[in-house]
Chains A and B, each alone.
Chain A
Amino acid sequence: MRNKLDMKSLKEEFLEILSNYQGILHKVNIIYFRNTSDREDNFQEIIYQLWKSFPRLQNKNSIGSWIYAVSINTSISKIKKESRIEYREKLPESIDKIDIIEELSLNEASQMLLKAIYNLNEIDKPIMLLYLEEKSYEEIAEIIGISKSNVGVRINRAKELLKQNLNHLNHGN
């Protein structure tokens, strides 16, 4: 059993890491949830799940991968619980209101990209996010749990779908 002092220093260390890497949580949240309250709930849930698994984190060199993995898994778990989003390729027209676009006051190109990402399925979304974040194939393979060679195939497919979605949205405007 950890004593109070250990616990305090562990929490401080955790909060410092979380503070430095919180951008990951926000970005995973953005690609999965369209409305603010869902994102806030999920943000809290991810922090909690990270805190729970923090004592078991052995490789402190792969903190980013750990945060991505926990954030993606927690988000999918929330989607599953709420059963609001089904697993399917969606048509670009299905996009309605996205709170984050107003919150971040994004330019048109960013809005289009975000809408196109929302139209990807729940597996292609994180792959595309990691790709846009310029993560190496090795890191993507580690976070998603597939082989490095598959990462390439998967990225190409997701990119293709993303471009199709973007074209569709462009022609719709």
Chain B
Amino acid sequence: METNELQNIWKNIDSEISLKTTEELNQLLTIKTRKTINKFLFIFIIDVIVCVGLIVFLILTALNRQSDIIYLINNSILCLITLTALIISLLSINKLQNNKYNLSLKDWLEQRIKLLSRWLLGKYSKFYIVLIPILLVMINLSIHVYFEYRPFLEVMKNGESIYGLTIGFLIGLFVSYFAISKIRKYQIRNLEFLKGLYSHLDNMH
């Protein structure tokens, strides 16, 4: 089949496409904009509620336990980590929203690969392996010690408490690692897909 012939056949496909009216296009844009804003707001609100809720809990419980220094230190560190996590997550959501599509295909692929690589393979990408157990221990302790109505050190000497905390910690650890590994696997697959496309584009001499 000759080149011109292919282009003529393509013109036939082109001529069959039914176009939308300006009103229909406007409606589609309005619906999509609303959906995207709602999705963004949903993630934003959940993120803020969880983090701010935890911070409020930590502050209130610390105020009720002003004499327990270890408990205060535990809650202060947790508060600081939660606040940092909230700021980082809000910045990341904002960055995701600003994904630029008005670039050439090669530049767009490069931009996405860089961003995903930084998240998945960057210097701090494995930091969660250390951070999650520490956070789980601290959160478990903060909640458990508070509702035991006894000082931190006293609770830690109680065998039953240690047993409960260990079980809670192990379940939390399993759920967290499982969820993160699922998300990471999905994102790594995406990254490989993009890298495949990029290398195909790059090796065409």
Q: Which chain B positions have C-beta within 8 A of A145? A: 103-108, 201
Nearest residue, chain A, Cβ from B10 = A132
Choose the segment among B30-38, B41-49, B63-71, B169-177 that binds chain A (4+ C-beta atoms closer than 8 Å): B30-38
| Proximity bits, A63-94, B CB within 8 Å = 1, else 0 | 00010011011101101110100110000000
Contact A150 B17 (CB under 8 A): no
Do A51 and B33 contact each other (CB < 8 Å), given the known contacts A56-B102, A69-B103?
yes
Instruction: Decide: A87 and B193 in contact? CB cutoff 8 A.
Output: yes
Scan residues 145-173 of chain A and give those whose CB is less than 8 A from a CB of chain B. Answer: 145-146, 150, 153-154, 157, 159, 162-163, 166
A30 and B14 CA atoms in complex are apart in Å by 10
- How far is it, in angstroms, between the C-alpha of A106 and the C-alpha of B102 when the chains are bound? 32
- Some 20 contacts from A to B, beta carbons below 8 A apart, are A23-B19, A30-B13, A44-B32, A69-B108, A73-B103, A77-B99, A81-B190, A83-B186, A83-B189, A83-B190, A105-B16, A110-B10, A113-B6, A113-B9, A132-B6, A143-B104, A144-B106, A145-B201, A153-B204, A162-B6
> Counting chain A CB atoms within 10 Å of each CB, which of B7, B10, B106, B196 scores highest?
B10
Given A22-B19, A47-B29, A80-B190, answer yes or no on A114-B13 (Cβ-Cβ < 8 Å): yes
Known: A16-B22, A49-B101, A143-B105. A27 touches B9 (CB 8 A): no
- Which residues on A are within 8 Å of B, measured CB to CB? 11, 15-16, 18-19, 22-23, 26-27, 30, 43-45, 47-49, 51-53, 56-57, 66, 69-70, 72-74, 76-77, 79-81, 83, 86-87, 104-107, 109-110, 113-114, 121-123, 126, 132-134, 142-146, 150, 153-154, 157, 159, 162-163, 166
Which residues on B sit within 8 Å (CB–CB) of A157?
204
Q: Are B108 and A73 in contact (CB under 8 A)?
A: yes
Whole-angstrom distance from the CB of B87 to the nearest CB of chain A?
24
Chain B residues whose CB sits within 8 angstroms of the CB of A23 once the complex forms: 14, 17, 19
Contacts of B194 in A (CB 8 A): 80
Query: Are A87 and B105 in touch, CB under 8 angstroms?
Result: no
Chain B contacts to A: CB under 8 angstroms:
1, 3, 6-7, 9-10, 12-14, 16-17, 19-22, 25-26, 28-29, 31-33, 36, 99-109, 112, 186, 189-190, 193-194, 196-197, 200-201, 204-205
Q: Is the interface of B mostly helix, strand, loop or mixed?
A: helix
In the assembled complex, the CB of A115 is this many whole angstroms from the nearest CB of chain B, namely: 12
By a CB distance below 8 angstroms, the chain B residues around A109 are 9, 12
- Do A123 and B197 have beta carbons less than 8 Å apart? yes
A163 to B29 alpha-carbon distance, docked (Å): 38
- CB pair A69 B7 closer than 8 Å: no
Tell me the bound Cα distance from A104 to B10 in angstroms.
Answer: 13
Q: In the complex the two chains form, what is the Cα distance from A146 to B107 in whole Å? A: 10
Bound-state Cα–Cα, A15 to B205, Å: 40
Chain A residues with CB under 8 Å of B201's CB are: 123, 144-146
Q: Which B residues are in CB contact (< 8 Å) with A106?
A: 12-13, 16
Among B104, B107, B112, B201: residue with most chain A CB under 10 A: B104
Q: How far is the CB of B155 from chain A (nearest CB, A)?
A: 46
Distance to closest chain B CB from A155 (angstroms) = 10
